[in-house]
Structure 1
Amino acid sequence: MELTTVWFVLIAVLWTGYFVLEGFDFGVGILLPFLGRTEADRRTIVRTIGPVWDGNEVWLLVAGGATFAAFPEWYATLFSGFYLPLFLILLALIVRGVALEYRSKSDSTRGWDRAFFWGSLGPALLWGVAFANIVRGVPLDAAHEFTGTLLTLLNPFALLGGVATLLLFTLHGAIFLALRTTGELRRGATRIARTLAPIVLLVVVAFLIASDGGKPVWWAAVVVAAAGLAGALAATLRGRDGWAFASSALAVVAFTAALFTGLWPNVLPALDPANSLTVTNAASTPYTLTVMTWVAAIFTPVVLAYQAWTYWVFRRRLTGTPTGPQNPGPSALTPVNEG
């Protein structure tokens, strides 16, 4: 297998990991105002992702860095043409991170909760818009410069992609909350998951079919995504939170795989195919790709092992106390072993 192909696959894996892990983070933030009826509930919801959310964002940083090093032409065209949407995503992620860090240090948490909500909803929507445009193709000239405008990116297909990722991540977050909480919070998250799952299934499948990847492996990914969402609904109805989360994660994996398999061998198609960026004309030199491959082979298992250990340590469910100080320490959240 050529190194350009290897790095296309690795970048796809990095985006998959980001969407699976950060996807439920976004969902938790989106659901905060709907499930957090009391301050104790809101504290518990935030604490479900408290130990892991910043580690999940590392996948995005590595994906961006890998794209810059392996496919610099792709990186340059993407970040110049998609400058405003990507800037809005970055701004939302900053606001979200600040809200999570400073929420416990403020006497009033309402403002931080709103920032957490919008900082989660914005990227969940805009990542879908961005990837829909990448898959569909954008106007590029012979020098691979983006020649469109912001309105070019806000086409109906891209907006459908944004709705698809928004709903998919919200469902993923609801199932994650059902897995990580107890009592009324778990019941509320389960009700939302049961309601959302059929809608998400329809929207996600409609978006993927509209993207028309065409390849057999693409169709396999579409089928797996649909099966994952159906499995998540079935497991949720049976109260099997672990299986529901595994099925939801599988659906996110298959959804991302469908995007990248439909994209190959392009990395950024142009409306005029002669101007498209491919894994060949956008790639770095063979020497650069060789060095990067050795570095990735050494350090990737270490990073994966560390993150797996983190999730294992913080695997227990959380339950909030109905009374107590507004911004309590860890003792106000008691880990239990339900389910």
Structure 2
Amino acid sequence: MELQSVWFFLWGLLWAVFFMTDGFDLGIGSLYPFLGRSERDKNMMIHAMGPLWDGNEVWLITAGGVTFAAFPLFYAVMFSSLYSALMLILFALILRGVSFEFRNKVNRPAWKRVWDVCIFVGSFVPALLFGVAFGNIFKGIPIDQDGVYLGNLFTLLNPYGLLAGVLFVCLFLMHGALWLTIRTDGDLAGRAERLAGLLWPVLTGVAVVFLVATYIFTALYDNYLARPVLFLVPAISVAAIVGIKYFLMQKAFFRAWFASAATIVSCTFFGVIGLFPNLFPSSVKAEYSLTAFNASSSPLTLKIMLIVVLLFVPAVLAYQVWAYRLFSVKVTDEDLAHEEMY
């Protein structure tokens, strides 16, 4: 029982770390056609995320691997139920990675325009669909007693799922704009700063609507009402969102980015804590839901995996902290002269 609870927390933590790290480069890619006015701007935006984006996506593999190893039944049902959405995300991420590599291979405007569109699509689609997927998990998925999904892709595109998708997009756009204020200079950095200021009330408004809709359409608040101390988590989200605005006004951009990271992590845990012990709640009948206790691996498997995680995850986190510190300096024209961007 305790091992399943620990792994439920770790499962949520790994997804939160993925959204926190990969969120800024998905945000930059989504802003790419709007802030990239010149060839220099576009190359600078790619360089701003270039050394980090592929490392960030390691957390997606880790989160997926943990889902498979710790909760195999949940993994099987989730990938069969959300197959179309998850395949779209996978194809979009592949397209984005290829775009970074191919864009500057041929110095022709038409060639670059094609890959510019691919960078945008490959960033915006995952940002939206990750939100849609998790929004539907929060709301409940129509699965029967055998774990068979009783819907299709359009079933997932319900108002609450789309609202969660919009929230994820807003979070990632803010995260990406703030990273550009850190890594770029000149007019591009100024426009990114102004855009972050314009995004803040939009993000705040969407977050408020999402919290209200969550109370109406989901049972996430049940755990919070049963244990009011848990309301500290959404309180941290509110404080972090306010912190973004405060640090923006102070032009403390790195602190604003950390506040944005805290917002993403606390928002993710708001949903994870509300779900517990459900991993995949059924909207057909509560008894059909997959939980941390009826979908987990054997205790021995969970013990061995826990030892591995406690040994290696801190090392990976330390490496990423070092990498972020190393690449937190401004992109220079000398950097742009190199073809390799990561």
Q: Give the shorter-chain TM-score range.
A: over 0.9
Distance of 1:208 and 1:124 partners within structure 2: 19
| Structure 1 counterpart SS, 2:103 | helix
Structure 2, unpaired ranges of 5+: none
Query: Which segment is superposed worse, 304-313 or 134-143?
Result: 304-313
Indicate if the aligned counterparts of 1:217 and 1:261 stay in contact, CA closer than 8 A: no
Distance of 2:54 and 2:340 partners within structure 1: 22
Please tell me the root mean square deviation across aligned C-alpha atoms, in Å.
1.8
The residue aligned with 1:335 is none
The residue aligned with 2:250 is 238
Pairing of 1:189-200 with structure 2 (within 5 A): 189-200=192-203
Q: Pick from 114, 118, 123: which aligns with 2:121? A: 118
TM (norm. structure 2) is: 0.92
Distance of 1:303 and 1:239 partners within structure 2: 30
The residue aligned with 2:313 is 300
The residue aligned with 1:70 is 70
1:223-244 Cα offsets, whole Å, 9 max, x none, are 2212211211121122111121
1:320 deviates by 4.1
1:11-64 Cα offsets, whole Å, 9 max, x none, are 111111100110001111011111111111111111011101000000000000
The residue aligned with 2:7 is 7
Opposite residue 256 of structure 1, the aligned amino acid is T
The residue aligned with 1:87 is 87
Q: Pick from 308, 325, 329: which aligns with 2:338? A: 329
| Structure 2 counterpart SS, 1:267 | strand
The residue aligned with 1:29 is 29
| Structure 2 counterpart SS, 1:317 | coil
Distance of 1:331 and 1:211 partners within structure 2: 44
Q: Pick from 207, 212, 218: which aligns with 1:204? A: 207
Pairing of 1:136-285 with structure 2 (within 5 A): 136-212=139-215, 213-214=220-221, 215=224, 216=228, 218-271=230-283, 272-285=285-298
Distance of 2:282 and 2:46 partners within structure 1: 41
| Structure 1 counterpart SS, 2:149 | coil
* % same residue: 45
Indicate if the aligned counterparts of 1:35 and 1:189 stay in contact, CA closer than 8 A: yes
Indicate if the aligned counterparts of 2:279 and 2:290 stay in contact, CA closer than 8 A: yes
Opposite residue 337 of structure 2, the aligned amino acid is P
1:294 deviates by 1.1
TM (norm. structure 1) is: 0.93
Q: How many residues end up aligned between the 2 structures?
A: 328
The residue aligned with 2:102 is 102
1:330 deviates by 6.7
Indicate if the aligned counterparts of 1:208 and 1:258 stay in contact, CA closer than 8 A: no
Distance of 1:198 and 1:221 partners within structure 2: 21
Opposite residue 262 of structure 2, the aligned amino acid is L
Structure 1, unpaired ranges of 5+: 333-339
Matched, 1:311 2:324: yes
Opposite residue 220 of structure 1, the aligned amino acid is L
Query: Which segment is superposed worse, 217-226 or 16-25?
Result: 217-226
**Does the C-alpha gap of structure 1 residues 21 and 94 become closer, same or farther in structure 2, counting only changes over 3 Å?**
same
Distance of 1:218 and 1:88 partners within structure 2: 35
Query: Which segment is superposed worse, 268-277 or 97-106?
Result: 97-106
**Does the C-alpha gap of structure 1 residues 12 and 320 become closer, same or farther in structure 2, counting only changes over 3 Å?**
same
The residue aligned with 1:336 is none
| Structure 2 counterpart SS, 1:104 | coil
Distance of 1:202 and 1:320 partners within structure 2: 38
Displacement over 4 Å in runs of 4+: none
Indicate if the aligned counterparts of 2:33 and 2:120 stay in contact, CA closer than 8 A: yes
